[in-house]
Structure 1
């Protein structure tokens, strides 16, 4: 794996299909993340997502920055020669070029290879029935250094809301299927809670997109707001203005569920509310 990574830094990210090391493409963590593990290009895409995710998640330490430089993670390093990137990485760590190339770079690549190996030992493939990208699992779940960062925390909170919304929608559908009139109050409660969860999910996703760009990245997968909400099972169509206003109502309610549901339902019915005239 270390030798494969050494070949990988010659050009840097993204790894091109004709230069993708087979030993990395066959990692369990890569195959598990691939949309179609049987397809070569799908595994290449998964490998690029895995490498990029780990490298950007290593933090802002000097060694992490040096590794990102070697792999040309950032735009300013794309298209530069390995000699140039080595010189920059050596400068970050305060070494001369020769010492860095002979002694420091091999250790950095070995350490990074070990992180990839550990990930492959603990990563659980996605289930056919569950939304993709489930949490890693094992007898004693651990967090790798690459996962301890704000990006991973926010992604995890988003997925927690996706699953919570999905559970509430399942609950509502189950109650409706039972056809018990006495359960109508529970159906209405589940419906309101679903709307509240949608607003919370929209708010979290807005925070993510504001910080990290136009798409929500999770491993090799890319999602937009509509895709994630539909993945949870929500089928109600919201216009961009409605989605924005629901986030406003949520903020205005201070996160209070009952207050939000009351005003949100009035807004969606077209009834006047306190915030109807607010410039959103």
Structure 2
């Protein structure tokens, strides 16, 4: 795993210019990562792969999983508290300051560990895409109004695309709310704000699960369809991590969302389900509490 990135950065080549990446400074191994190709608008285009690599690197650095050195890792590549376009020496100085180290010690002892950790995170990201059996359809600008022929096959194909679009719309709608939850927990938002956002995410979860169940009823695994063998659970998992729910809790969420496509109606129908609400929101509230407890040590 680490060996892959060592081949990609035999002399820490990517660090020479930092971010944004420079074409001559990027190895083919990095551009060939599954997570990069999956995010590229056109995987056959080199500039598209470079843009996707920037996205992957920024995302990994934003979520760098060693809180003591997360700011240093970002500074090293020219992200705040560092500065893009500066020399590697300047970026090393900013990275050393961010963790309170002397520059020489940082370069010799800390920097190699940060590069190795980033390599592991990139490889883990790629492995996540290895098991993904479905990607959202790529879109292109319409050249004009679509006109279907008076043909059963064209109707069936369009109807499937309609169902598929609704599923992916629901996937991304839930993903947006889950990302908001993560950001709010990290920013230590108040209890009430996170709880309100948790209700919105639960509503989107119910809508997605309901939509995925409808899709699978019409297009079961192995039939005509673009989601392969993915189960309803697999489809929902594409949106991101959600708290584990008991079967009866899942049924309540799906039923409430199916009967109440608006958030207010969904909220009213589940107002008495206190245990369900706590099970859904508690993981983010717990994370917020841990952030508060570790705030002084992280800085």
Q: Give the TM-score normalised by structure 2.
A: 0.47
